[in-house]
Structure 1
């Protein structure tokens, strides 16, 4: 048995919710006759989601949502199970786009996107194929920002379920998943301590909260930068030092961008950083750390001083270390989120596709709109996870339910 298949079997052991859904899908085959396109970071948890949908009767096409996050052994293993795979680690930008086009040319009925590149491609280059899409589900904050822009301009062509915005996703995946996987990637890549370092977290959304909390748990002094006054106040009240990014640049040992925005760290920040500072991006696209500006400033670039670590030597002799080429550090330099976390997120993806499938069967062509994950779906995923953990909870009595609904004084 090769390594990729062993990775698949390992994550299956720790994804009980998706495992129970897979068993149900194998019995009911709800996606029979449908083609599903998936653009996600291609590692073992993603592969298990793809194989779960295949077990449900779908013809599944799978590509990566990032040129550097594919694990080639996993890609081979899931292809051997019958999923059509178009990805390789280290793909050029041209290859990356060509792989996404393979998914589009499959004329998918349903899709799962991560960051919005697949949806963008359908809307800009293949509108005639987009017209036949039943709907899809988006995994990330970045992708949802792009979807909202499409919807505001009236250009959205099919419904998309905003998986990232549902409580089970942003409370657990974004906070606990990103929080742990970022520091897992840093530690395994550098073999250095987090304790005693000053960590600067740029952005205090759900992902930033997780990164900051885990850094503090590992013994770091944590500084937060923010543009949103409410989130900045929240960070302050939770015990973090809040500073403007330029001030923080002079004191940080490790910088993590988690904003979903562009050029969070640029030339003016690099000019103030300590010798030996580390730069990591945990946002979806490689635009938060302005790598092109860092490259222009450097008099020498030593690539792979350790795997996934590039050293940028500046004119004054300082060296800044960039992890994962400025791409998603937890996937480029690590294995991504823990399997127990992705069990929740990918169960939501599978059930969101089932929701779209069932609505389409009842109602016909669905309106092109942005849809929340139905609350009952979110609660069902949480309920299944609790059951898998052996945790029992209380239930409202009929009197309590009536009281909360105002049916009696």
Structure 2
């Protein structure tokens, strides 16, 4: 076993958190129980690059219980829970290469520590592991069967590889599963992003104007939760359909240049760079809060903010205040990185239960279809989505209706009309 973590003495604290997550992830735990005896992943190396949280720990433990050798790194310099990493190493015997606050070099060194295990299957969040793997397929890719991708940003990066005929192995877009993006992205990020902002600042959202950049699944969830806490919400968009959805959902829709002078709190969730830049910061009110809920720290141009400032200071662990040359103050949360993971604990366990069930089942699917899949991006099978939703409903004690034979016949034939 190899590893690089911050402090293995934190393991007891991490173990308790993992146990808490397990008690709130019944779908994934049912899959663990189902496959821990047959061990379908025995002999396989699963290389992962996901946020090292208590929920991710439950996924890694499930993979290991199914027989896999697990090597893992973090997918964001500030999202690793050091106590979780310690427990996975000490209590589970897994190879983890992650700690909170790594430099850019250390971050990629950790990724390459995973690649040195020559993974059969990769599990990624943001595609950093997959992209680095593609640069070194000749060196580390002798066993590769396929991979999965957890988030929107990662899927977009990998689709660009596919479009340019450079995708080196099949990838399952876990993010595109309905039981992932309609729940994890909407309800998970919607709640946890605001949780991060509140933990970092203790700000009262009621009565504030919150500007949400992007109205995809993530932005939709954030806007809904902000309104629920009493904020007025402005949505900015570049996609006319998403903008129209936001307006029909009752939000004010404006360009960022107009919204910049109105907002008290700005939350980016687009997956694109320079969503908040110099021209926007120059128009902002004194004391605004800036936070990012997209995967990478490129949505808020920190370089522009620094150029407009003459001084900065740390207000607390997660808030840096910039004193602008126009005498206004700008408060940046979490270095512009994922606010829900930097300043809070990420998505609640209950919603990650479905996302990580999709990850585990996708690994099984890749193994089952070894050698038959093309080097392209695949969507989750509808049957898998439905199965996970049913298991989740059952765990919640919820029953639903079933189609009668006559109803099924009606829906699958065309003869019966008025």
Q: TM-score range by the shorter chain?
A: over 0.9
List aligned pairs for 1:8-407, cutoff 5 A.
8-80=18-90, 81-130=92-141, 132-303=143-314, 305-360=315-370, 364=371, 366-406=373-413
Shift of 1:355: 0.9
Report the Cα distance in structure 2 between the residues aligned to 1:228 and 1:380, rounded to whole angstroms.
33
Q: Which runs of 5+ in 2 are unaligned?
A: 1-10
Q: Compare 293-302 and 174-183 and name the one that shifted more.
A: 293-302
Residue 3 of structure 2 aligns with which residue? none
- Any idea what SS the aligned residue of 2:37 has? helix
- Any idea what SS the aligned residue of 2:166 has? coil
CA separation of 1:329/1:294 partners in 2, compared to 1, >3 Å: closer, same or farther?
A: same
Please report the TM-score for the alignment, with normalisation by the length of structure 1. 0.97
- Any idea what SS the aligned residue of 1:301 has? strand
Deviations 1:99-155 (A, max 9, x none): 000111101011110001011001123344335311111000000101110000001
Report the Cα distance in structure 1 between the residues aligned to 2:415 and 2:258, rounded to whole angstroms.
57
Instruction: Find runs of 4+ consecutive structure 1 residues off by over 2 angstroms.
Output: 125-132
CA contact (8 A) 2:169 2:375 kept: yes
- Any idea what SS the aligned residue of 2:267 has? strand
Q: Which runs of 5+ in 1 are unaligned?
A: none
- Any idea what SS the aligned residue of 1:199 has? strand
Shift of 1:366: 2.8
CA separation of 1:353/1:359 partners in 2, compared to 1, >3 Å: closer, same or farther?
A: same
Shift of 1:407: 6.6
Please report the TM-score for the alignment, with normalisation by the length of structure 2. 0.95
Report the Cα distance in structure 1 between the residues aligned to 2:339 and 2:115, rounded to whole angstroms.
28
Report the Cα distance in structure 2 between the residues aligned to 1:232 and 1:131, rounded to whole angstroms.
45
- Any idea what SS the aligned residue of 2:35 has? helix
Report the Cα distance in structure 1 between the residues aligned to 2:149 and 2:363, rounded to whole angstroms.
11
Report the Cα distance in structure 2 between the residues aligned to 1:115 and 1:176, rounded to whole angstroms.
19
Deviations 1:321-354 (A, max 9, x none): 0000000000011100010000010001001111
CA contact (8 A) 1:181 1:335 kept: yes
Report the Cα distance in structure 2 between the residues aligned to 1:14 and 1:316, rounded to whole angstroms.
49
CA contact (8 A) 2:118 2:142 kept: no
